[in-house]
Amino acid sequence: MKKNLIDFIDISKSYGDNLVLDKFNLTVKENEFVTLLGPSGCGKTTTLRLLGGFETPDEGKILFDGANITDLPANQRKLNTVFQKYSLFPHMTIGENIAFGLKISKKSSSYIKDKIKYALKLVNLDGFENRSVDSLSGGQQQRIAIARAIVNEPKVLLLDEPLGALDLKLRRSMQYELIRLKNELGITFVYVTHDQEEALTMSDQIVVMNQGYIQQIGSPEDIYNEPENAFVADFIGSSNILNGTMIRDCLVSVLGVEIPCVDEGFGNNTPVDVVIRPEDIVITSPENGFMEGDIISNIFKGVHYEIEILANGYTWLIHTTKNADVGAHVGINVDPFDIQIMKKAEHSDEKAVNIDDKI
């Protein structure tokens, strides 16, 4: 069983009157790839900066391998940070950039030379020691920034939206590179992004945040298939999120139609949020659906068709591999196991139900 490496305990942080983190608790285990995911202003970058030693919390403490590092300077922490802006030194060669931290640590020249070769091989840039920074593409510069961080042998690598400036194809290539590096090096990665696909692709655990609160912690599969609340369901991928009423166990009313589901324990006649993923909806003949409507839009997305159906006053979003004609009158169906029921949040920044049990 993996041991706890990082513990945020009751962390609060404000900038003036703006409360960014409020009694924030989080545990990161050794050798995990943990992604902090959320919209701008949710507190994810502040969390990373607190861990990196670039900010100090107003309240609470941070433990690293059991030791309190809350007030420890950044240069004394066993971690390195890779930022979106790579901060490479343009007047230095690639080798000199990678060796910068090692020289400050007064490592021997032979040790530094070996480490440069090792790091360049890890990021698939063998033989680039004497090249200039300006000769590199954006993706190559990103790899050098990562190489510069890993030669210092940190226990944790912090990455603050490091792929945000890259084009889509290069970004996806770098995602797989980061997964490979994590597996080869055995380093714990703490990664910040607002890109849902990026988080789902790379992470062992995803921490979904909103307005300083953790909304859900879980594997990519859990986050996508079993969202804790409407915010998570809406933020991770596309969803149809509707107001519903839980009539009783395993029966929910949506848009005036009673639909079987598998959820229990919400009570009788209770207002709920109902979440149905677009890929879980099946287009059928009108008489075979739980609801019928008209196709108002159909866009080919390459791997699927994105179809909108207006039914009972709601525009349903559907992803399917089967084409359908705009204007057609159809039915829609969904398996009861693919309907997610969740309690309604009382306000937009409410924490997810029983989140403390997951930390």
Contacts of 30 (CB under 8 A, 6+ apart): 2, 3, 4, 5, 188
Quote the CA–CA distance of 34 and 156 in Å, as a whole number: 11
Residue-wise pLDDT tens digits, 89-136? 888 889 888 888 888 888 888 888 888 888 888 888 888 888 888 888
Tokens of residue 65, six digits = 């391998």
Domain map of the chain by residue range? Answer: 4-225, 239-345
Quote the CA–CA distance of 149 and 332 in Å, as a whole number: 52
pLDDT, mean of residues 260-278: 95
Residue-wise pLDDT tens digits, 8-22? 999 999 999 999 999
pTM of the shown model: 0.82
Residue-wise pLDDT tens digits, 134-148? 888 877 888 888 888
Three-state secondary structure readout of the chain: CCCEEEEEEEEEEEECCEEEEEEEEEEEECCCEEEEECCCCCCHHHHHHHHHCCCCCCEEEEEECCEECCCCCHHHCCEEEEECCCCCCCCCEHHHHHHHHHHHCCCCHHHHHHHHHHHHHHCCCCCCCCCEHHHCCHHHHHHHHHHHHHCCCCCEEEEECCCCCCCHHHHHHHHHHHHHHHHHHCCEEEEEECCHHHHHHHCCEEEEEECCEEEEEECHHHHHHCCCCHHHHHHCCCCEEEEEEEEECCEEEECCEEEECCCCCCCCCEEEEEEECHHHEEEECHHHCCEEEEEEEEEECCCCEEEEEEECCEEEEEEECCCCCCCCEEEEEECHHHEEEEECCCCCCCCCCCHHHHC
Domain 239-345: CATH superfamily is Nucleic acid-binding proteins (2.40.50.140)
Q: How far is CA 339 from CA 230, 290, 355, in A?
A: 13, 13, 22
Domain 4-225: CATH superfamily is P-loop containing nucleotide triphosphate hydrolases (3.40.50.300)
Q: What are phi and psi of 75, to 5 degrees?
A: -75, -5
pLDDT, mean of residues 218-237: 90
Q: How far is CA 329 from CA 31, 135, 276, 289, 294, in A?
A: 52, 58, 21, 11, 5
Residue-wise pLDDT tens digits, 46-57? 999 999 999 999
